[in-house]
A = this chain, B = another copy of it.
Amino acid sequence: MKRLGILISGRGSNFEAIAENVASGALGVLGVEIAVVISNRAEARGLEAALARGMNAVCLPSKGLDREVYDRMLVAELHKHDVDLVCLAGFMRLLSAGFIREFPNRILNIHPSLLPAFPGLDAQHQALAHGVKITGCTVHFVDEDLDAGPIVIQAAVPVLDDDTEETLSARILKQEHRIYAEAIGIVIAGKYRVEGRRVLLT
């Protein structure tokens, strides 16, 4: 199991971090390849980045499509590229039960907070507004609930008194880039088991 399918909606900075790690980091050593990058929005800058890297880059616009219909298109595209592990990298859609059944325990997402705190949109804004002193990021398996599946890795990030959403987001993003590649490595290598909601290394 070594072929990644990466789903994006925007700039895909986490996609780029994964691609770098595949090119010259631990994921490359594990023999991981990026099979395809799929965006649900044509204007996603990550698509150009994927093309520039000589990767398969596919635009599957979701606008106006029923979730089940769209997710079947996504599944077909991922299977066409023999994808083993699906990585959401700023993919701004909830996935249907049908999609999740196609990739059991084979979908990862990254979220810019220490879940279960601050799920959903604008997690960094939520953290600042709540006045927490520590936030972070989380890589988790995806289930049918928003930002709710079993957690693979988290990283803590301090909130500073003079932080804006931008400075805090940038500090978190550095850790996102680090832990996403690490989590993919753990899952690809199969070096874990899930007990209840706990993901334990083996």
Contact = CB atoms under 8 A, between A and B. Distances in A.
A201 B131 CA distance: 12
Contacts of A156: 134, 136, 156
A22 interface: no
Interface string A116-148: 111000000000111111101000000000000
A119 to B, nearest CB: 11
A131 to B, nearest CB: 4
A131 B198 contact: yes
A151 interface: yes
A4 interface: no
Nearest to A202: B161
Given A114-B117, A117-B114, A117-B117, A131 B161 contact: no
Interface string A169-202: 0000000000000000000000000001111110
Interface residues of A, number: 26
A154 B136 CA distance: 13
Contact of A201 (B114, B115, B154, B161): B161
Contact of A161 (B130, B134, B200): B200
Contacts of A133: 151, 153-154
Contact of A132 (B115, B118, B131, B161): B115
B136 A134 contact: yes
Given A131-B196, A133-B154, 5 more contacts: A130-B151, A131-B150, A133-B151, A134-B155, A161-B198
